Amino acid sequence: MIVFEHVDKTYANGYKALKDVSLSIEQGEFVAIIGLSGAGKSTLIRTINRMHDITAGKLTVDGVEVNSLRGKALQKFRRNIGMIFQSFNLVTRTTVIKNVLAAKVPELPLWRVIFGIFPEKDCLEALEALDKVGILDKAYTRVDQLSGGQQQRVALARTLAQNPGIILADEPVASLDPVTAKQVMQDFKRINQELKISVLINIHHVDLALQYADRVIGISGGKIVYDGSAESVTKDVLDEIYGGKLEEAV
């Protein structure tokens, strides 16, 4: 369970990105976070794996206070949280399977990392992860030969190879065409349902958020202004989240 208790986040320049955020997210939920650019969506999810430190309040994940973690304890904590970005963050000049195996590097002795020698178990798990996202046939293809949608699936497979309990996705379909975006969202949904992994997606596409998420959190000016089921989102709710500027979100 992820629990925010009166959380604030103020950046060094004085900008307050989160204001008195309180919410709880149960294991296995599929949550979409929506709002205008600058509303605090990315900041919210990046505090969960402590890419950003909170400046007030309390944030716990499975009972562990995130801001109390240091060194190896923080590294171990982050292993349970996968992170997917809009830009894929892949090494494009190498193969798909090598990118997925990168998820195993923190667990390996240095000599294996230097020589690129992975245990058979890790290789099998990498192939299984690729199979789960439907691109097993691309395992030995160079990443730069793949489409954008296929590259995002590689990023998702790499995250699955961590065996995470939580997946955070920061605008994972923003750079994809509408058809491919839906396919990738279907992958997230299937993985959430089949593996019971919590999925939190920061997303601009309101239609996709409402179609695939079980729960929607709306942020405006750093504050939570809506938290409920996708089915309960109305035009009035969207007007409150977007201040009448919904067209800027799609």
Would you kindly state where each structural domain of the chain is located, as residue ranges?
A: 28-39+83-249
45-54, 56-65, 234-243, range with the lowest pLDDT: 234-243
Q: Which two tokens stand for residue 83?
A: 């992170």
What does the pLDDT average to over 46-60? 96
CATH topology of domain 28-39+83-249: Rossmann fold (3.40.50)
CB–CB of 226/242 below 8 Å?
A: no
Q: Which two tokens stand for residue 102?
A: 């990168």
Confidence of residue 34 (pLDDT cuts 50, 70, 90): very high
Confidence of residue 20 (pLDDT cuts 50, 70, 90): very high
The pLDDT value given to residue 105: 78
Of all helices (H) and strands (E), which one includes residue 33? strand 30-34
For the cut 70, the answer to whether the pLDDT of residue 247 exceeds it is no
Tens of pLDDT, residues 179-189: 999 999 999 99
Cβ neighbours of 151 (radius 10 Å)? 24
Among 221, 97, 217, 112, smallest CA distance to 158 is for 97
What does the pLDDT average to over 43-52? 95
Dist CA 138 CA 96 (whole Å): 7
Tens of pLDDT, residues 107-153: 767 767 666 778 889 999 999 999 999 999 999 999 999 999 999 99
What is the phi/psi pair of residue 145, to 5°? -100, 0
Dist CA 35 CA 249 (whole Å): 7
pTM above 0.85, yes or no: yes
Q: Which two tokens stand for residue 11?
A: 């950046």
Cβ neighbours of 38 (radius 10 Å)? 13
Average pLDDT, the chain: 92
The pLDDT value given to residue 249: 54
For the cut 80, the answer to whether the pLDDT of residue 227 exceeds it is yes
